[in-house]
Each structure stands twice: as structure tokens, then as C-alpha cells.
Homo-oligomer: A and B are copies of this chain.
Amino acid sequence: MTGDGSSAMAAATESIRRIPALDIESFIHRAFLKAGMPDGDANIVAQLMADADLNGSDGHGVFRLPGYIKRILSGGLNLTPDIKVEKERDAMALVNGDNGQGHLVMRYCAQKAMEKAKQSGIAWVGAHHSNHAGPASLYAKMPLAEDMIGLYAAIGNANHLPPWGGTEMLLSTNPIAFAVPAMEEPDVVLDMATTVAAYGKVKAAAQRGEQMPEGWMIDREGNPLTDPTKSDEGFLLPIGGPKGYGLALMIGLLAGTLNGAAFGKDVIDFNADFVTPTNTGQFVAAINIAAFAGIDNFKRSVDSVIRSMKTSPTLPGYDEVHLPGEQSHRKRLDRAENGVPLHDGLLKVLADLAEELDVGPLA
């Protein structure tokens, strides 16, 4: 697990290096600063992105930096946004992100939700004119610090999914995340796309020259598509068929339409268009546990649920039952001690970025 390339692990690990999270954070900070982001904001975004890498959200940490920087240098992001509440009541707010970096907007929204939920018991804060904010779990987990349950959902920044039975890509992988605190056990954190596979997994399979299993994608005739280099010829499949389509649609209506953010035909493919504002929509909700129950009692009950799941006998082929967030928790412990594993391919891209920006390299 330490990625030192020794003995039998050499073949599998020689293309991976372990980089301390603090080095990653510092590099991201340098890059944003050089691209023109104010120091305080660059600090916040760098910390959240490095946090994503620590948590094992490999497609949402430093991996995203080149795309974010490209958007800034293309003039597609507002570096000095006036992020503010446009409408609010006791238990809700609608936030205008002013086309700022999504991490800043969603951190603002999560804090606002926690602040309101302290009094009102629950609060829901939606955003429009936001941008890609990294993994959903980051914002669902923020309320945990105040002994609250977190809920987050977002409209993905590219459409890869048609409505069920259709062929026009009008939906994204629209992820949803929940975080529930435990006492002695790791917190329960679910962070899932509403598609069987996230699009990043398709791209990763293509990079590795591997075939995809049936069930990830279909082509325009409805046949299984297993060659990831042909992903442009088909679309992702939602979980549970029409159910996952329904979930993606509902998240779109709640995170997009309700907030006045882009949904459906209006979604910009942010991997192809680095200039047009994305008008990304997201929401975060915080549920104040103290309003419902004694906090310690609740957390102990969550421990008890976790333990009952963990002690279930297993199916053939399964070593153990996992709780949502458990594997991320283990990765975090490992990565905090041994560094974040980054592929040579990504390290090369980041080295090129350092040269382009003329900032100190990552490692």
C-alpha cells in the first residue's frame, strides 16, 4: 500500500508515485494564485481539492486542476465573484455564485445552511451561477462538524444520459451525497452518480486500453457498448433503468430549475467549452440532529446500525460488507500517512502545467 515499488508490487505500482497531500495543496494554491485567483480563495479551493484527493475522490482532486486553470485563462470564470444570498427565509437561501469557482460557492452555501439549521432545525440552500465544485461528498460532509446530517446534489457539467427510452443526451450523471455522523465508527457517507458508471470511469478505461463491462453504456441502437474509445457513439446507463433516470431528472429539477440554473438543453459541456459561463446548479441541506434527538444517542444508534451491517454473513466472493464511505475513510488514513498515489500520466500533465504557469513544480 505504500507505493514504494518494492518486489512483487513493482509492475503494478511503478507508474504511481505517492505525493504528500500538503504538497498537492501547496501546488494547487500556487497555480490558482498565478492564474489570478485571490490568495484567500486559492487557499480554500486548494484545501478542498487536496481533501478530495485524500478521500480517494481521484477524479475530483488535483486531476481537475488543468481544466480549472484552462477555464480561468480562457476567461470563463469570475476570479472575484460577489457570492451572495439573493433570497432567503428562516430555513432556505438561494445563492448567486456570480460565476465563481464552485468550491467557493458551495462552501458558502454549506456554511449558510448550517448557520440557519442551528435555529430552524433544517435548512436548504440552493445555488445558481455556480461552477463545478469537485466531489459531492465534500459538501455533504461539512455539516458533520456541527453535528448535523448533510445532503448535497448537483447537476453534472456535461450531458451523458438521455431520458429513459430516448437518445438525446439531456441529463448528466447528477450526483447526490449524504453524510451521517457516527460515534466510534467512521461516519456514513454516500456519494453516488445516478448512472451505473461515472463518465470518468469510462475515460479511465480508455486510457488503460481496457474494455468496459456490459451495463455501463449502450449505443444509439440500444446495444451494449463495451469499447470505451467509442464512448462518443453511445451514452451512459442510469442505475435501475427508469429509476436512475427519474432520480437524475429530479435532481435536475431541484438543483437546476428551482434555482434558476442550467438543466437539460442549457447545460454547457465544460470539457469542450471553457468560455461560456456554466450556470451550474447545486444545493446543500443541513439537518440539525439536536432538533430530533440527543446527539450522542443518535450517534450510538448509527454505530449500532453500522455494526449490524458489518456482522452480516457474506455472499461467496465477498470478504466483508462495507458501509458507504468506509473505503474512502480507509484511503484517507492511508493517504494521510503515505501520500496520495498519482499516476505518471497525471504527474506529467501537472509538470507541464507548472511550466506553462511558471510556478514551482509539484514534485
- Alpha-carbon distance A253/B316, docked complex (angstroms): 27
Report which residue of A87, A165, A260 has the largest number of chain B beta carbons within 10 angstroms of its beta carbon.
Answer: A165
Known: A165-B314, A166-B318. A305 touches B252 (CB 8 A): yes
CB distance from A330 to the nearest CB of B (A): 15
Taking the complex as formed, is A138 at the interface, i.e. its CB lies under 8 A from any CB of chain B?
A: no
Once bound together, how far apart are the Cα atoms of A293 and B188, in whole Å?
A: 33
Q: Is the CB of B92 within 8 A of A121?
A: yes
Residues of chain B within 8 A of A244, CB atoms compared: 239-240
Instruction: Specify which of B196, B253, B264, B314 is in contact with A188 (CB 8 Å cutoff).
Output: B253
A312 to B166, Cβ gap below 8 A? yes
Q: Does A228 contact B (CB under 8 A)?
A: no
Q: Which residues of chain B are within 8 angstroms of A247 by Cβ–Cβ distance?
A: 190, 192
Given contacts A188-B250, A222-B316, A249-B188, contact A165 B322 (CB under 8 A): yes
A:288-336 near B, CB below 8 Å: 288-289, 291-293, 298, 301-302, 305, 308-309, 312-318, 320-324
Is A89 engaged at the interface, CB distance under 8 Å to the other chain? yes
Question: Which residue of the partner chain B has the closest CB to A250?
Answer: B178
The contact string, 1 if C-beta is below 8 Å from chain B, for chain A 241-271, is 0111011011011100111100111000000
28 interchain pairs, CB-CB under 8 A = A87-B292, A89-B120, A90-B91, A91-B91, A91-B117, A91-B120, A92-B287, A122-B124, A126-B292, A162-B315, A163-B309, A164-B321, A166-B309, A166-B313, A166-B314, A166-B315, A170-B309, A170-B312, A178-B250, A180-B254, A190-B250, A192-B247, A249-B305, A249-B324, A253-B302, A254-B287, A257-B302, A264-B309
Contact with B along A157-185 (1 / 0, CB 8 A): 00000111111101000000010100000
> What residues of chain B lie closer than 8 Å to A316, measured between beta carbons?
221-222
Pick from B120, B242, B257: contact of A120, CB under 8 Å? B120
* Alpha-carbon distance between A239 and B264 when the two chains are bound, in angstroms: 24
Q: Which residues of chain B have C-beta atoms less than 8 A from A126's C-beta?
A: 292
Of the residues B178, B239, B287, contact of A240 by C-beta under 8 Å: B239
List CB contacts (< 8 Å) of A117-138 with chain B: 117, 119-124, 126
A43 and B315 alpha carbons, distance in the complex (Å): 47
11 more contacts with CB within 8 A, not counting A91-B122, A165-B322, A250-B324, are: A165-B321, A166-B309, A166-B315, A167-B315, A170-B309, A192-B243, A246-B324, A257-B301, A258-B298, A259-B292, A264-B305
Instruction: Say which size band chain A's interface belongs to.
Output: 35 or more
A94 CB-CB contact with B under 8 Å: yes
Given A126-B292, A257-B298 in contact, is the A90-B120 Cβ separation under 8 Å?
yes
Contacts of A246 in B (CB 8 A): 190, 192, 324
Docked-complex contact B265 and A308, CB < 8 angstroms: yes
Contacts of A259 in B (CB 8 A): 292
Q: A312 contacts which chain B residues (CB < 8 A)?
A: 162-163, 166-168, 170
Which residues of A are in contact with B by a Cβ distance under 8 Å? 87-92, 94, 117, 119-124, 126, 149, 162-168, 170, 178, 180, 188, 190, 192, 196, 218, 220-222, 239-240, 242-244, 246-247, 249-250, 252-254, 257-260, 263-265, 287-289, 291-293, 298, 301-302, 305, 308-309, 312-318, 320-324
**B residues less than 8 Å from A165 (CB atoms):** 314-315, 318, 320-322
